[in-house]
Amino acid sequence: MRLRVLLLLTVFPLFAVSASLPVPDQGPALRIQGSNTIGAALGPALVKGLMEHQGLQAVHNEPGEGANEQRVIGKTRQGKTVTIEVAAHGSSTGFTALKKASADLAASSRPIKDNELVDLEPLGDLKSPEAEQVIAIDGLAIILHPQNPLNTLNTEQLAQIFNGEVSTWEALGGVGGLIHVYARDDQSGTYDTFKELVLRLRGKPLASGAKRFESSEQLSDAVSHDPQGIGFIGLPYVRQAKAVAIVDGDSQPMLPLNSLIATEDYPLSRRLFFYLPPSGRNPWAKALVDFTQGTKGQAIVAANGFIAQQVQAIAVQPRPSMPDDYQAIARDAQRLTVNFRFEEGSASLDNKARQDLQRVVAYLKHHDKLNKQVTLVGFGDAKDDPQRAALLSKLRAMAVRRELVKNAVVLRDIRGFGAQMPVAANTADEGRIKNRRVEVWVY
């Protein structure tokens, strides 16, 4: 079954794209370097969208000078050629290229590292809200044969399965004998994502006997015809296979629904970034970032199989495992597909949350919900003192409230649920950061 929830795009652009960008007399107008996940298809598609939005004609892609390199080319009405180069050699190469001034914009499928931040200080603060731009959310589905009786796996089990430490379905409480592992090839951004989220976090390589595929469709179809098969795949490619729910730490089992990936609750989700150096800013780089964050750009994000950052309201089914007060909210209200998260060790909103504030305010205005139609629900990671965790979770919700009040939003209520309902394991920084979140509910 194909587990997808279509995102409803809002009808208002949030970011304006400047017109009449300068055309250089020679050389590329913009050079993008970095992540294969972004650079293989999404980056060139966004560049093409920007060029067409700028009125360029005959926009097309051509192979670049090396492997995993492309040029997107268009012509102005005056006949001048505009070229944008996209090189996809891995996230770290984007930051190296910025330092060497051989790129104007870095594409990354992970946040910038502290040493890279220090290394690039001469270009300005790449963690500033203007520089660090979350452009999409990426998510993976774990798929089985449709008749496989297992419905849930945890992230530790996934690492052991795909590393080969667990080799039979019986070891997982299932049936079927030997496990057949299917994986994308080394050139795949999907494989990069899985490696980053599951294998590398636990120091495990992929099993040498895994069957590798260049095609997502072929991998999915192979798993759906193999009763002993398991694989990982991008969301658009579940096809006839069965997607299982994933658990991380003490989280609830979560299916790979677009709504759970949009809120980053689903364990196998991650952010994709553009990094735009504050100094010596290339106007085409700024225009591409603005276009990407707008409605047209986010539609291209969705069309390329990633999760767009558009806001919608979804119904949440109350469950017995939820606190009673939370069940009451779920019965009466709908949850927005946004979670506000915070900078590490801070009550300050992170850069994605700052952008999401604009999106939430635009949604509330468009749906006439500015006056006592919103409840904020805060959560945190586990503390030695549960009362302290509850207080901190409410303080995080109040931090979001302060920002919404600046935009004429009158809140209905603010609640703090402490360390209840974790969405990730608290054993690592990444999990604790995910658990420190604020949900938005609308009536």
Helix, strand, or coil here: 183?
strand
CA dist 247 and 422 (Å) reads: 10
Q: Residue 187: pLDDT band by 50, 70, 90 thresholds?
A: confident
Alpha-carbon torsion angle 324, 311, 90, 104, nearest 10 = -140
One domain for residues 344 and 429:
yes
Q: What is the Cα–Cα distance from 249 to 382, expressed in whole angstroms?
A: 12
- Do strands 180-184 and 229-234 pair parallel, antiparallel, or not at all (unpaired)? parallel
43 and 97 part of one domain: yes
Do residues 229 and 213 lie in contact, with contact meaning Cβ atoms separated by under 8 Å? no
Domain of residue 237 covers 138-260
CB crowding 90-114: b at 16 or more within 10 Å, else e: bbbbbbbbbeeeebbbbbbbbbbee
Alpha-carbon span 382 to 426, nearest angstrom = 7
Looking at the domain assignment, is residue 379 inside a domain?
Answer: yes
Closest CA to 293 of 267, 270, 263, 272: 272
For 25, residues 6+ apart whose C-beta sits below 8 A from its C-beta are none
Is 4 part of a structural domain of the chain? Answer: no
Residue 51 included in any domain: yes
The answer to whether residues 249 and 364 belong to one domain is no
pLDDT in tens, 152-179: 999 999 999 999 999 999 999 989 899 9
What CATH number should be reported for the domain holding residue 235? Answer: 3.40.190.10
Kindly indicate the confidence band of residue 429, based on its pLDDT and cuts at 50, 70 and 90.
Answer: confident
When mean pLDDT is compared across 52-61, 276-285, 377-386, 403-412, the lowest value belongs to 377-386
The pLDDT value given to residue 321: 92
Same domain, 112 and 152: no
Same domain, 218 and 168: yes
Residue 159 in 3-state DSSP?
A: helix
Has residue 15 been placed in a domain?
Answer: no
> What pLDDT is attached to residue 13?
40
| pLDDT given for residue 383 in this prediction | 77
- Going by C-alpha positions, the residue among 84, 82, 83, 88 that lies closest to residue 69 is 88
Q: Is the same domain home to 364 and 410?
A: yes
Q: Which amino acid is at 215?
A: S
Q: Do 329 and 365 belong together in one domain?
A: yes
CATH number of the domain residue 396 falls in:
3.30.1330.60
Residues 68 and 93 in one domain: yes
- The torsion region of residue 236 among left (phi > 0), alpha (psi -120 to 50) and beta comes to alpha
pTM for this model (two decimals): 0.85
Is the distance from CB of 85 to CB of 32 less than 8 angstroms? Answer: yes
Residue 10 resides in a domain: no
Say how many domains are in the chain: 3
pLDDT of residue 345: 66
Q: Are residues 48 and 70 in the same domain?
A: yes
Encode pLDDT of 91-126 as tens digits.
999 999 999 999 999 999 889 999 999 999 999 999
Same domain? 223 vs 330: no
Tell me, yes or no, whether 21 lies in a domain: no
In-domain check, residue 270: no
In a domain, 362, yes or no: yes
- For residue 1, pLDDT over 50 is answered with no
**Strand 242-243 to strand 132-144: parallel, antiparallel, or no bridges (unpaired)?**
antiparallel
Same domain, 179 and 151: yes
For residues 103 and 186, membership in a common domain is answered with no
Contact predicate 317/330, CB 8 Å? yes
